[in-house]
């Protein structure tokens, strides 16, 4: 799979607020699929949660491991780092420089 295809999967996975909520839950700690389903009780059924987890797994954002009857879901930060390195870091330093110039210009010369 090319880098562009992998990025597409990540961006598509992040496009849904429910999947972002799942990632937020996994950021705190690994969770079983049952626990994730309980967190969405009354909002999403188990099948829908499993479909969202499948999208996140295909994008490489979630790693699932079976332990007995439980399926543990772990956040994989690797794809986030790849996106940051390719798309964000190059613009971040420019944005910081721009904000520093703006601050300097707004504050004007320091008077004694």
Can you tell me the distance from the alpha carbon of 86 to that of 80, in angstroms, rounded to the nearest whole number? 10
Structure pTM?
0.77
Q: Would you list the domain boundaries of the chain?
A: 3-77
Q: Is 72 left (phi over 0), alpha (psi -120 to 50) or beta?
A: beta
* Architecture of the domain made up of 3-77: Orthogonal Bundle (1.10)
- pLDDT digits 0-9 by tens, 46-62: 999 999 999 999 999 99
- pLDDT digits 0-9 by tens, 64-78: 999 999 999 999 999
What is the pLDDT of the chain when averaged over all its residues?
A: 90
Can you tell me the distance from the alpha carbon of 19 to that of 25, in angstroms, rounded to the nearest whole number? 10
């Amino acid at each position: 799979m090319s880098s562009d295809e992998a990025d597409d999967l990540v961006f598509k996975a992040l496009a849904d607020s429910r999947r972002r909520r799942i990632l937020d839950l996994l950021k705190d700690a690994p969770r079983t699929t049952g626990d994730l389903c309980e967190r969405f009780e009354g909002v999403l059924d188990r099948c829908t949660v499993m479909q969202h987890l499948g999208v996140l797994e295909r994008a490489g954002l979630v790693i699932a491991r079976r332990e007995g009857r439980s399926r543990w879901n772990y956040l994989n930060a690797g794809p986030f780092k790849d996106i940051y390195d390719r798309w964000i870091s190059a613009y971040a330093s420019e944005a910081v420089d721009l904000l520093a110039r703006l601050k300097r210009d707004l504050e004007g010369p320091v008077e004694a």
